[in-house]
Structure 1
């Protein structure tokens, strides 16, 4: 079975990733472009059920989604210092910089030490670089202001950004702007990571999951009940809850007279039902509808005994 990869990012980068990914026979590429980074979460909400894994064309939409939906399997294209090579070539091709001149640029998202390494390897020692790495809370306006102020003060001859919307606005402002885009090799790298991540997720999702639901102090609950009819009615309600849960999770369910219920399913299904073990809908429903205190435990393993 192929892995469905939802590709999220600006339309041109999404097309590029989908094109490179077309040679991966085990991957089904699902394009999910957005008009602006601020629309990332809306796109994620739309495609989260379609994709086995979400692939972002850059680190910023990835971080936005990670902060909001930490349980989803996600990867992103790495923007390293090597992506600066093409930008530097564009500098000289457009005659914005001379080969023997000083490089004065502002850069966002990329890390300073990676930039320094690449420039050292190229022998470009005459340079003045201003770097604004991305961090939580950094907005589109912050990045635009960073570049524009440096350029307007004459401190830089050109600006380099990894963010499409920032590039577009800088161009509108008349600022010499260059956009960093991922190389084909970095796209292939992230597609390979997505493939490995997907295989790992599928392997873990087939693990056996065994759950045990226990009505706390069941014997005392029975004794304190107003009547035996009340206990029987609640048992019928409990049985209905378990039937519905079993149907939803395709579980095998075993009920005992001691107030304990066990069920067997797979890890993938139980993770889906509990939103990565962040919620306990079965436990909540039992406690709300029956007014009985209860506890639940779930074990995972490659074998039933291990689980």
Structure 2
């Protein structure tokens, strides 16, 4: 059974989802910053419907600041941002609120309310933006937690679960209203490699199973190469994007020194021992 809650909220807000448009999110000549301090400028990119788009770059380049602009937490200094052709920042606050109901956001820490159970955290957006009764909300919470393998944790508090579980619970909450777009800010931060790989698999499963469009901020190469279809690379020094494309393509073909150093940093030291060492440690000969 498929239950679409966000469609109810979107219809009542006056924002209708558009079908047939390949580009869902579009940034044109965007400049972002705080007051007179420019963080990034000349940002132009298109996020295709059903894709996983990566915002990449070194520390301090403005990746999370771009994400803040895309989810409505920071007004750009210049440029245009559209969601399904609707200008996000030109309308009234009510219009942005309606568009935001099409978004789900997973913050770095999971951002769960510590005084609420996992189930109560996930039910919060359903209680705020729908007219569903408590029994239906409980069923939807169980469904979302089941999608991320967290059904057993519905009545636990955030302090009673691990960091990886908190990330998955945060993801379940991000999916509560069946959003068109999921925004992930460093989803693998603080996770061990195995948990991180499982989260990548979960993200791919959700994209393929739910048809969601995903925008991810990350510097984790293994994750970027595994899940991202397209992306943009931001440079902290020039404060402009210096490369566009899938992370795997940028790794293999981009000649820009900054991009090359970023994409190959895990290969700077070859972990494979030389042949003589491997021969000496072979216990099967």
Whether the TM-score (by the shorter chain) exceeds 0.5 is no
Q: Which structure's residues are more often helix, by fraction?
A: 1
Say which one has the larger Rg. 1
Q: TM-score under structure 1 normalisation?
A: 0.22
Q: TM-score under structure 2 normalisation?
A: 0.24
